[in-house]
C-alpha cells in the first residue's frame, strides 16, 4: 500500500499561517516528521518559482494556479518576495528523500484548469523546471514522479 501526504495539505492551520510560515518551521515541523514515519512518496511544488508566481498572478489565465499546494507556495513567494523555499532548499529535500527512501512527486501547480490554459507558457516553464529538478534528483539516486499534464477526467 502506498502512503502519500501532499506537503502542506495535511495541515489545516489556514492561509494566514502559511503566509507567515518560514522554511525552517516547515522543514522541522512537517517534512522531517513525515518521512521518518514511512511514507512512500511526498508531493512537493518545486516548479513554481517566484517569477512564475508573479507572472501567474497577472496572467490572463482562466483558472490561474489550480493546485492547492502550488497556490500556497506561489502566495508565500509573492507575499515574502522570496524564492519558493522548496526550490531553494531542493538539495536538502533530495538528501532527505534518499536517506528515507522516499519518492519525490513534483507537483504541477500550473496545470491547466481549463482548455484555454492548456500548454501555455506558464505550464510549459513549470514542466521544464520540474524536469531539471527531476534529473538532479535521479542523478543523486532518488526516484521521482512529475505530475502532469494535469488532472484527467475519468471516463468509464
Q: What is the pLDDT of residue 128?
A: 95
Residue 58 to residue 52: CA distance in whole angstroms? 10
CATH C-level class of 15-146: alpha beta
* Per-domain boundaries in the chain: 15-146
Question: pLDDT by residue (tens digit) across 12-33?
Answer: 444 455 555 555 545 434 666 7
Question: pLDDT by residue (tens digit) across 79-126?
Answer: 889 999 889 889 988 998 998 898 999 999 998 888 888 889 999 999
Is pLDDT at 133 greater than 90 in this prediction?
yes
Amino acid at each position: 500500500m502506498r502512503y502519500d501526504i501532499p506537503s502542506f495539505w495535511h495541515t489545516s492551520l489556514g492561509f494566514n499561517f502559511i503566509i507567515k510560515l518560514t522554511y525552517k518551521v516547515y522543514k522541522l515541523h512537517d517534512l522531517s516528521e513525515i518521512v521518518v514515519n514511512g511514507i512512500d512518496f511526498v508531493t512537493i511544488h518545486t516548479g513554481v518559482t517566484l517569477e512564475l508566481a508573479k507572472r501567474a498572478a497577472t496572467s490572463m489565465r482562466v483558472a490561474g494556479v489550480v493546485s492547492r499546494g502550488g497556490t500556497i507556495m506561489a502566495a508565500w513567494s509573492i507575499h515574502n518576495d522570496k524564492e519558493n523555499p522548496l526550490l531553494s532548499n531542493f538539495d536538502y529535500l533530495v538528501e532527505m528523500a534518499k536517506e528515507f527512501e522516499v519518492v519525490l512527486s513534483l507537483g504541477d501547480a500550473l496545470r491547466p484548469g481549463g482548455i484555454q490554459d492548456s500548454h501555455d507558457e506558464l505550464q510549459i516553464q513549470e514542466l521544464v523546471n520540474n524536469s531539471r529538478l527531476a534529473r538532479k534528483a535521479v542523478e543523486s539516486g532518488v526516484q521521482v514522479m512529475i505530475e502532469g499534464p494535469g488532472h484527467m477526467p475519468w471516463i468509464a
